[in-house]
Amino acid sequence: MVRHRIANGYQEVVLTGVKIGSYRSDGLNLKGLIEHILAETEVTRLRLSSLQPQEISPELIGLLRDSRLCRHFHLSLQSGSDTVLKRMKRHYSTADYQRVVSSIWAQGPETAITTDIMVGFPGETPAEFEQSYNFCRQLGFARIHVFAYSPRPGTQAASMSGQIEAEVKKQRSQRMLALAEESARNFSQQFASKTMPVLWEKRSNGLWSGLTNNYIKVYTKSNYDLTNKLLPVRLSEVYRDGLWGEIKQAEE
């Protein structure tokens, strides 16, 4: 079989769009599309963008057997409180979410799970916020994107009772952001002292930055042009929002 090359030498392709988990075209669902891309192209890395927990099947998780599929799932959570999830009309519970995450880690324990969390949704009580906070702490996300609820005119949520005061949303955001920083640091530290391939992306203020397969941000210094180069890197201490790395082979 002849595999097609990726135009312009790109090393990583990200499948993105609105609700990609519901993809259907020419008889292919998302799993079939991924299989097709891996079989028919020379793509070095294939990364998925945001998915809903209910869109993750055992068959989709099984595709992680191909090392070119990035060990990274961004699974939207929104809240770690079941009562808040019901008010949001999400189609999953925290138990559903945890089962999916456990299934992913059973296939690849090094897989990064990143998520979105909203604080201050209408009616969110202090107890519900604590449930959400503790659920996020328990799961140990690689990254948490934190948002404070902001009413959008014309939406059902905007007319709900129990709108949260701005100061309370700010306080909850700050606590969740602190947890996000702690969780990201804890996840990254698991890989300190390991050697992993890093795809270098850009140079800023004298430092190069890039990503591992499992979405760890890595920094290094180099006088060479590392743009779009996938190189083995010895990871070391925590640095900024990721890890510092030393390139293991001669730079060309």
pLDDT in tens, 112-127: 999 999 999 999 999 9
d(CA 228, CA 222): 14
Task: Enter the DSSP assignment of 141.
Answer: -
How is residue 236 written in tokens?
A: 């070391």
- Statement to judge: residues 120 and 237 lie in one domain: no
User: Taking 50 as the threshold, does the pLDDT of residue 251 lie above it?
Assistant: no
- Statement to judge: residues 164 and 237 lie in one domain: no
189-217 confidence digits (pLDDT tens):
999 999 999 999 999 999 999 999 999 99
- Statement to judge: residues 128 and 210 lie in one domain: no
61-89 confidence digits (pLDDT tens):
999 999 999 999 999 999 999 999 999 99
Chain centre to alpha carbon of residue 124:
25
Task: Enter the DSSP assignment of 214.
Answer: T
- Statement to judge: residues 157 and 208 lie in one domain: no
Residue 233 lies in a domain: yes
Residue span of the structural domain in which 52 resides? 7-189
Which residues fall within 8 angstroms of residue 176, CB to CB, at 6 or more apart? 117, 119, 132, 133, 136, 144, 146
- Statement to judge: residues 227 and 119 lie in one domain: no
For the chain, what is the mean pLDDT? Answer: 95
145-180 confidence digits (pLDDT tens):
999 999 999 999 999 999 999 999 999 999 999 999
- Statement to judge: residues 17 and 122 lie in one domain: yes
CATH code, domain carrying 219: 2.40.50
Across the range 229-249, mean pLDDT stands at 94
CATH code, domain carrying 67: 3.80.30.20
Neighbour-count burial of 202, counting CB atoms closer than 10 A to its CB (0-12 exposed, 13-18 middle, 19+ buried): exposed
Contact 142, 215 (CB under 8 A): yes
User: Taking 50 as the threshold, does the pLDDT of residue 143 lie above it?
Assistant: yes
d(CA 233, CA 201): 14
Number of domains within the chain: 2
Which residues fall within 8 angstroms of residue 100, CB to CB, at 6 or more apart? 53, 56, 75
What is the pLDDT at residue 2?
62
Neighbour-count burial of 166, counting CB atoms closer than 10 A to its CB (0-12 exposed, 13-18 middle, 19+ buried): exposed
Tell me the percentage of the chain whose pLDDT exceeds 90. 93
Instruction: Give the H/E segment covering residue 138.
Output: helix 126-139
Neighbour-count burial of 35, counting CB atoms closer than 10 A to its CB (0-12 exposed, 13-18 middle, 19+ buried): middle
| Edge-to-edge order in the sheet of strand 112-119 | 72-74, 112-119, 143-148
252 pLDDT tier (thresholds 50, 70, 90) = very low
User: Taking 80 as the threshold, does the pLDDT of residue 34 lie above it?
Assistant: yes
User: Taking 90 as the threshold, does the pLDDT of residue 45 lie above it?
Assistant: yes
